[in-house]
Every structure is written in C-alpha cells, then in structure tokens.
Amino acid sequence: MHKQDDPLLAPAELGLICVTSAFVRILLDWLDHEGLAAADLRADIAALDSDALVPIPRWHELLQRAIALRPGVSPAETGLAIGACVKPAHVGLLGYLALASSTLEEALGSYLRFEKLFYGANMAECSITPQTVEIRWHKQFPRPSQLFDDVAISTLVSFMRRLWPEPPPLQHVSFVSPAPADIAPYERFFGCPVRFGDSHVRVAFSAAYKALPLPQADPALRALLDRQAEALAAALPKADAFLLELQRALLKLLPEGQSTLDATARELLTSVRTLQRRLAERETSFQRVLDDTREQLARRYLADPSLSVMDVSLLLGYSGQGVFTRAFKEWTGDTPAAFRRRVGG
C-alpha cells in the first residue's frame, strides 16, 4: 500500500465534501435495529435519488435528527452505533473492492484510491512504519461536529471488523475535537486508547496485520462476490477452465484500470503470445472476452442501487463515466441511466 497520491483538498474546495445517498441509508438500518418508526426521517432518506451526492451539512442534519430520537443516550453512543450498522451496500464501490482484496493492506489501498467516490474528495493519507499502519485525515477538512467523525470512523472500523472472524486489534484512535466529559463509550467501542485534540483523525493498527488475508467468511459479503462470479459465467456461457481463469484475472485487474493484454498475461503467468494463441484456438480474442466480461458485469452492477454510474465505470476499468457510457450504448443500445431505469436498479 502506498501513501495517497492525489493532492489533499485546497481550502477553496472544502465545500465539495459530500457522502453518497447509499451511505445515508445506513440510518434506515439503524432505525430498524432500534425499532424506531421515525416516519418523516425515513421518508426524507427514501426520497434521495440512488445516484445522489448528499452535502455534508445535509448529512449532518439527518444525523442530528437521528440523535434526537434517543434523548436519553449520549450522542457518542448513538453515533458509534450508527456506524456499526454498516453493510456492503452502504459503501458501494469501496465494499466491492474490499471484498475483492487479498489482504488488509490491499483493501486499505483500494480505500485510498477510491475515497473520492465516497466523500467527493481525497482526504485520507496512510503511513507505514515497521510497527504501525496508520490512516489519517487532517483537521483542515470540514467536520460539522464530533458526531460526523464518530459515524465515519465507527463505519470504517466496523467494516474492517466484518471482514475477519477475528479482526486485528487497533493500536489507537484519535480525534481532533476536544475530549468529551466521558470517553468510555469510545474506549469500549474501539477497544484501544482513544485520544482527542489531535492534529488528525487517526486509526492505527500493528503493521504485523497488513498482510492479513481476507477470509471473506461473512455470508452477506460472500453473496456480493457470487454475483460477480455469476456475471462472469454469463459473459462466457461455454467457458472452459482457461477462459474462466482469464475471467478471474480480469475481475481483479478491471478495478485497478490494468486490464491490458500485457497485464493480463502477467497475471496469468504466461506470455502475451501464448495467451493470444490459446484465445485463437477458441475462436475468440482478448478484446472480445474483455468486452463481453465488461458488458455482463455492467448489467449486474447497474442493477445494484448502491453503485453509482461512476462507480460502475471505475469498477470496469474505464477512465471516466463518458467512456463507459459510449461503450455501454454500443453493447445494448441504452445509456447506463436508461438501462438502470428500465431494470429498476
């Protein structure tokens, strides 16, 4: 994993921070978990378009309304509990990429690369020492209250915890806000020392865990991967073992934007010439397999309301939404948005 390459936001860009509407729906799961009706809040969340980006002030207002539903509980406890309700559908592309990762380090690398799709900006950076892996967010970034950080960091930690039967323990967590009167809810939730008044929001764990393999044992998470496998099988219904192996390689390389002939041959531990020969023997070509795989994956991804069209374009390895839209229209005659409306995604 490397330090985030994209520049951090300049002050003039801070107003661009947002969250996805899919993430806002975490509040619906929290309301269900708590058995709260909250008809008005539910209606406002349900009214959000599936591809909408929700400005941070609006997200914060919805959080405050949720907090008000439990007046006898501290805001910290409620904020942490909201984050603990996270599911793959709430984090869209980042959830898919985490599930496709082999190790914790690789999953965090995906987060750094695609954080912009979640918040509208790249805010995080990562540092690795022989002892510690730390992901952090500078205090210059807009945060309307400690509640915003409570939900954001508990979401990240809870998603990590879903990925392993025995998740790696945290070394420390830090916040930029002054310490509240009672920090016990934080220490119980994170299970480590929690600091306040820092220059960054930080989450750190031992570097010994960075190569921890992802078992992907959770049935709900496994189902998302199975959907991708089904889409690949549909792309090549008569696929033999070699073509299935090629599909698996493309599934890994597409989100990385590395689905070239050369990169695929390296992933398969073969030469470009051998790969081309084996495809010719099956009366197909690399480009045809790539296009068929992309089309079938696109159809499945667009049927998932937690993924925006931009998410889908990057999952398929395109440089931008416009390039994907043109390709999808060539395949199907529809734009991605029109296809999504037609299938109810």
Residue 125 has pLDDT above 80, yes or no: yes
Q: What is the DSSP letter of 51?
A: T
Where are the CATH 3.90.1520 domain residues in the chain? 11-209
- Say which CATH topology domain 11-209 has: H-NOX domain (3.90.1520)
The answer for 338, left when phi > 0, alpha when psi is -120 to 50, beta otherwise, is: alpha
| Mean pLDDT taken over the chain | 83
Lowest-confidence pick of 12-21, 127-136, 209-218:
12-21
Please, are residues 41 and 34 in contact by the beta-carbon 8 Å criterion? Answer: no
Measured at the CA of 297, the angle between CA 294 and CA 298, to 5 degrees, comes to 80
Tell me the whole-structure pTM to 2 decimals: 0.68
Residue 116 has pLDDT above 80, yes or no: no
Please, are residues 91 and 23 in contact by the beta-carbon 8 Å criterion? Answer: yes
> What is the predicted pLDDT for the residue at 89?
76
Task: Just give the CATH number of 219-343.
Answer: 1.10.10.60
Place of tokens 């002054």: 178
- Can you list the alpha helix ranges (DSSP code H) found in 1-92? 21-24, 26-34, 39-46, 56-68, 75-83, 88-91
The tokens describing 160, both together, are 């990590």
The whole-angstrom separation of Cα 135 and Cα 261 is 34
Residue 103, strand partner residues: 213
Please, are residues 236 and 243 in contact by the beta-carbon 8 Å criterion? Answer: yes
> What is the predicted pLDDT for the residue at 7?
33
The whole-angstrom separation of Cα 180 and Cα 76 is 9
Q: End-to-end distance of the chain based on CA atoms, in angstroms?
A: 33
Q: Among residues 127, 142, 140, 266, which one has the least CA distance to residue 207?
A: 127
> What is the predicted pLDDT for the residue at 239?
57
Where are the CATH 1.10.10.60 domain residues in the chain? 219-343
The whole-angstrom separation of Cα 121 and Cα 112 is 11
- If one compares 235 and 187, the residue with the highest pLDDT of the two is 187
The whole-angstrom separation of Cα 264 and Cα 317 is 13
Residues in contact with 239: Cβ distance below 8 Å, sequence separation at least 6, in sequence order: 233, 247
| Chain centre distance of CA 44 | 24
Q: What is the mean pLDDT of residues 26-43?
A: 96
Q: What is the mean pLDDT of residues 111-117?
A: 73
Residue 14 has pLDDT above 50, yes or no: no
Lowest-confidence pick of 54-58, 101-105, 163-167, 222-226:
222-226
Per-residue pLDDT band at 11 (split at 50, 70, 90): very low
| Chain centre distance of CA 319 | 18
3 state SS of 242: helix
Residue 221 has pLDDT above 70, yes or no: no
Q: What is the mean pLDDT of residues 299-316?
A: 84
The whole-angstrom separation of Cα 23 and Cα 4 is 22
> What is the predicted pLDDT for the residue at 22?
83
Place of tokens 């590395």: 258
